[in-house]
Structure 1
């Protein structure tokens, strides 16, 4: 039986000499088809290019990516080029790991698919943070992704873990590739085809911001009133909306493209519930960053803001909904029921040494956790499995809470009356305003009401 271009049971060969047997068709996209295949190392995924796209330049890109031997678990990285030894099937493909079943595509959020019903507001912010960190890792190695869009990110709705797919168009910064991006996500200078404009890490920053806006706001940053006036959203219309005259829907100095409340209620509501720390970054990248690409928000800035917002998420005591709050701001009204939130105490953390110390805060709600990345000045990656401490209820008095030490190290606690005690592994220290904690390695904290 034939599945797409390749027949089930057909034997191909990897450049390493390993035999690759076609099992079934997973799906198809703009560049080719993806199959499940069997190899001596187990099941893998095979992307086989459409003949017209299997050219020498694409093969050169693949060879460069494979030669890097990158084993970052957030990327389905190409591992080997595959050919048809009989020559009956023209072109080539490449092997990568199979995407685990727990990962769902981002568009499932907008389809309200049951597969992602477990995703909470905390999950979405975690997805945003992990996505930024993944692309920061790529860019730090001098590689531009060139086609960041919502079809290339998969996420676990329970944990917020992400997986970046379709990495075969990523190239070393400055090199050329056939793919320039997806129109809705492309930087305006690429949409306009400005002279000298090329896809790279700078244009990736615009695409990344569009993806984050869609993830958190459930709409496109340029699809306001002007989009509603377009009768046919064809390529010419998109080129005007995203390239010739891109106006951010919440541009403080240009109200032409404001969302229409009765027609676009979702983005109006979500923007109203967004903390200023994130609003400011979106405004900057979609106003100054549109006009001057070097002013686009960098990955480190997104990481810092998203991490702070994640630590400040507060559950409404009336309706139970999660709310994004300004990390150091006053209590807002709940986006769902409208009642003013009661903010938990904050654990004010200080990390680093000398004069350049980093400060951050964690809302001490029941079950809140302190992670290893909280104790590092500039974490490369937020790992939510590395729990350092957890807010736990007193076994006899549920209204009282403490912080339990989940490390193998002894903490030092200094109470507001000046007394000092050790908090050994597995032990809990009662949380009261003024409590000082030393975690070691220069990391300190104070509980503030």
Structure 2
């Protein structure tokens, strides 16, 4: 559909430029007249099956004008139509950056984030949490939290939340649910269910967010990866989080995998590790035990301070484990 025309609600033609994204839901194009705006055109089969409900949801999102103004949120702004006047999608601001899937990757992060160190990862996560917190305050939940749905600027470490049309939003008494998700990122209370019928909550987002942050710190390793046992999804369902006291020793069945993982984990501050353990071990079957965004913000800011003061390494991949006393709880400081 590149170089074709869509129309706004006033029947004004808008030329589409280069296609920059595609998927099962549809395609995304740069607006020819303004490269800072992109247009998402839904696939014909998507419109045929879900067009009425989808348009109702997008219209509801467009009415949330304060979120359109959020600089790091690619929120639907205006509806777009084809030459016959049929609704086909919407326009939104264009996000800039690299997906977190390239940050949480041992081979890709040096190319995509060439100057980053561990303080940069903390900045990225704090910026992500700041925007997510605003959504939660509005009763909006991401649902499909994953490394591909967040972009980070390699220079400023600002983050952009994309694919927001899948978020769970509520209009009066009607809930527009998030119809997609990934089992390896989903809390067990929602496993085995059709995502389109699942009502997401603050607690379900918090569980998924903890997994995403763990992967960013651990070069993409899933928190439920371990020696032996099942795959990460099976281990998640059993609550087998192989970090912290009381777990099998390195190399044994059920322990964290061989590689740099123990060393990387050891350099996280005690408070950061404690929130991961609380959320991903104790919080598996008890959603009320999952760390809040406010708690994460507090400990990550302290972690930043600890690195800035030289108490913790800034290295992405330290060469030796850390055994010295944790200093992160001795002061508070903002990394923004």
TM-score, normalised on structure 2? 0.83
> Which secondary structure state, in structure 2, belongs to the residue aligned with residue 205 of structure 1?
helix
Give the Cα separation in 1 of the matches to 2:146 and 2:325: 37
Report the equivalent of 2:78. Answer: 80
Looking at CA atoms only, which structure, 1 or 2, has the larger radius of gyration? 1
Structure-2 separation of matches of 1:297 and 1:67? 31
Which residue in the other structure is 1:205 paired with? 206
Write out aligned runs for 1:231-270 (5 A): 239-243=233-237, 245-250=238-243, 252-253=245-246, 255=248, 257-261=254-258, 265-270=259-264
1-side partners of 2:118 and 2:88: how far apart?
42
Distance 2:108 2:135 in 1: 30
Deviation of the 1:323 alpha carbon: 5.8
The 8 Å contact of residues 251 and 287 in structure 1, kept in 2 or not, is answered as no
1:425 is matched with none
1:104–1:156: 8 Å Cα contact kept in structure 2? yes
Cα distance in 1 for partners of 2:7, 2:92 equals 14
Query: 1: CA distance between counterparts of 2:15 and 2:146?
Result: 31
Contact 2:225 2:257 in 1 (8 A): no
The change in CA–CA distance for 1:335 and 1:45 in structure 2 (over 3 A counts) is same
**Partners of 2:302 and 2:309 in 1: CA distance:** 16
Residue 225 of structure 1 corresponds to which residue in structure 2? 227
Q: 1:221 to 1:285 in 2, by over 3 A?
A: same
| Contact 1:188 1:246 survives alignment (8 Å) | no
Secondary structure of the 2:185 match is coil
CA RMSD across the alignment: 3.3
Give, in whole Å, the separation in 2 of the partners of 1:278 and 1:338. 16
SS, match of residue 45 in structure 2: helix
Counterpart of 1:177 in structure 2 is 177
Larger helix proportion of the pair: 2
- 1:322 aligns with 314
Q: What is the alpha-carbon distance in structure 2 between the residues aligned to residue 295 and residue 306 of structure 1?
A: 18
Counterpart-to-counterpart distance in 2, 1:190 and 1:38:
41
Report the 3-state secondary structure (helix = DSSP H, G, I; strand = E; otherwise coil) of the residue aligned with 1:286.
helix
- Mapped partners of 1:125, 1:178: distance in 2: 28
1:15 deviates by 2.1
Do 2:224 and 2:240's aligned partners in 1 also have CA atoms closer than 8 Å? yes
1:189 aligns with 2:181: no
The structure whose residues are more often strand, as a share, is 1
SS in 2 for 1:25: strand
Kept in 2, the 8 Å contact 1:323–1:335? The answer is yes
Report the number of matched residues.
319
Shift, 1:183, TM fit: 2.1
Contact map agreement 1:62 1:78 (CA 8 A) in 2: yes
Task: Report the 3-state secondary structure (helix = DSSP H, G, I; strand = E; otherwise coil) of the residue aligned with 1:58.
Answer: helix
Contact 2:5 2:15 in 1 (8 A): yes
1:336 aligns with 2:319: yes
Task: Name the CA distance, whole Å, in 1 between partners of 2:223 and 2:313.
Answer: 25
Task: Report the TM-score when normalising by structure 1.
Answer: 0.64
Contact 1:180 1:199 in 2 (8 A): no
1:163 pairs with one of 160, 163, 167: 160
1:296 maps onto 2:298 in alignment: no
Please report how far the alpha carbon of residue 112 of structure 1 lies from its aligned counterpart in structure 2 after TM superposition.
1.9
1:191–1:239 contact (8 Å) kept in structure 2? no
Deviation of 1:63 after TM superposition, in Å, equals 0.7
Match of 1:127 in 2: 124
Corresponding residue number in structure 1 for 2:46: 53
